[in-house]
Amino acid sequence: MPALRLLLLLAALCPPVPGRRPQRDAPGKIAVVGGGIGGAAVAYFLRQKFGRSVRLEVLEKAAVGGRLATLEVEGAGYEAGGSVLHPLNLHMKHFVKELGLSVAPAHGSLVGIYNGEEFVFEESSWYIVNLLKLLWHYGLNPLRMYMWVEDVLDKFMRIYRYQTHDYAFSSNELLLHALGGNDFTRMLNQTIDEAMQKAGFSHKFINEVVCPAMRVNYGQGVNINGFVGAVSLAGVESGLWSVKGGNKLVCTGLIYASKAEVIPGTVLSIEPKIRPRPAGDPAKLYQVTYNTTSGLTGDTYDIVVIAAPLSRKMANITFKNFDPPVPEFPNPYHQTVTTFVHGRLNASFFGYRDPSAFHFGAIFTTENPKLFINSVGVVSPVEDAGGAGKLPLRSAVWKVFSKEVLTKEQLNSLFSSYNSVKVKKWLAYPHYSPPEKCPPVILHDNIYYLNGIERAASAMEMSAIAAKNAALLAYHRWYGNTDRIDQEDLHEKLKTEL
């Protein structure tokens, strides 16, 4: 007994280890609203952090995959939403490897840049010819652009190191600032046009090379913010890839791996509830009400993660009885129309009298009010790992991006003949209008919002990064690990830990 008393005395005298807090119980149930890439990834990361005991439910109003969707054209599937991934998209690469999926490299085809009257640039199959053409037209601007984008990417890659070490950020601005400091913050507050002009790029280069890249990737011109502009320019580099069978397979695979239950339903409202417990403080929960085919129903959750854009046209969720109230985010999303046409492109539409001399498999456009398309390009089915861009003059499947649904007259002028047409209207990404203000990540004590990061840049990998950040943030805030949230000078701090 004296030995026991001595141990108790020592325990009382010894100060607690700094940073260690009494472990609270794990959350019982977590809801994820939305089964797109963000929702699927956050379910996967939440399971990794919180362990096997937590019940995970994914509430999805339509099909798992969200904006990663395929459209069927004559029995074959084609990517209608997010189509290509960058070689440095490390989360997406990890998912594909972890899920045992196959990669399909993006096969390049000859590109032409059309201004509505003529081609301002025509790519050759000879590398040296393209190099000379670029130098002749734009001087050193293309090389300087490559270096400018590489600098942005280099800073952006820091996020993987931070997340590997379990660091999280309570706002999108703090996350971006931790990567690129004031440079990244500044990029959100100016257009890509302003950012590149200040960096010394020519008007001609911005209008004829940068603008077409913005139009094909985001359906908008050079008035989008500088950060999403840099992401868009990274998307014209080589080494791009997609998932064989469709990028949406990543979503279904991640949800399966997370052992989450998918509940088909449209979330209508979220309301805080306090439930008394036999011992200890009362439990703070959230009542989530959703509509299913069987009618109105709902459940209570410890944590809610919203992985769908909060806007009236998308995830129109009412936040009831919150004090202070959850703000509305009047950030409009930009409509883009994807049209798949199985047919023969009309070379004379682009000023080519001899169709046999027309060898382009992709045509990007500059800003011109007369043009009714943003881009047009040959695509191959998601089941087929190769072949995109081959033999464009034979009857091929072309993917056309436009702001509005194409009329029959427009289709007849763009194609000399066609067999079938499939149309998909999307609210695909935000309508960018700098200066940008990202919505918060934390909407309430245990409600987290992923899609605010889209105000900086909308991309599959950005959603995966936001998903991991939200999962880490939810975990650290649940257990009080404040030393892993919003740490400054992480880049230098982690350097010294090597």
Name residues whose C-beta falls within 8 Å of residue 216's C-beta, 6 or more positions apart in sequence: 364, 374, 375, 401
Tell me what pLDDT residue 497 has.
63
216: nearest Cα among 101, 380, 379, 446: 379
Under DSSP, the state recorded for 208 is: I
Q: How many CA atoms lie within 13 A of 332 on its CB side?
A: 6
- 17 pLDDT higher than 50: no
E-assigned strand segments in 231-282: 241-243, 261-264, 266-275
**Where is 284: in which H helix or E strand?**
strand 283-292
- Peptide bond before 439: cis, by omega within 30 degrees of 0? no
At 318-330, the pLDDT tens digits run 999 999 999 888 7
Residue for token digits 């929702």? 39
- Count Cβ atoms within 10 A of the Cβ of residue 164 and give its class: 0-12 exposed, 13-18 middle, 19 or more buried: exposed
- 408 pLDDT higher than 50: yes
Cβ contact 290:59 at 8 Å: yes
Distance CA 118, CA 111 (A): 14
Tell me what pLDDT residue 478 has.
97
- 460 pLDDT higher than 60: yes
At 350-370, the pLDDT tens digits run 999 898 889 999 999 999 999
* Residue 381 three-state SS: coil
Residue for token digits 């390009």? 377
Name residues whose C-beta falls within 8 Å of residue 404's C-beta, 6 or more positions apart in sequence: 337, 372
**Where is 8: in which H helix or E strand?**
helix 2-13
**Amino acid, res. 393:** L
Please report which residue ranges of 168-294 form alpha helices under DSSP H.
172-188, 192-198, 203-205, 211-218, 226-234, 248-258
Percent of the chain with pLDDT over 90: 79
| Residues pairing with 29 in the sheet | 55
Q: Which tokens belong to 100? A: 């045992």
- Which tops the pLDDT comparison, 366 or 387? 366
| Residues pairing with 449 in the sheet | 306
Tell me what the pLDDT averaged over the chain comes to: 90
CA-CA distances (angstroms) from residue 379 to 26, 58, 160, 387, 424? 47, 32, 32, 8, 15
Over residues 266-283, the mean pLDDT reads 89
Q: Which tokens belong to 439? A: 């919505």
pTM of the full structure: 0.92
Please report which residue ranges of 302-453 form alpha helices under DSSP H.
408-414
Distance CA 416, CA 348 (A): 9
Q: Which tokens belong to 230? A: 């840099």
Name residues whose C-beta falls within 8 Å of residue 106's C-beta, 6 or more positions apart in sequence: 84, 240, 241, 242, 388
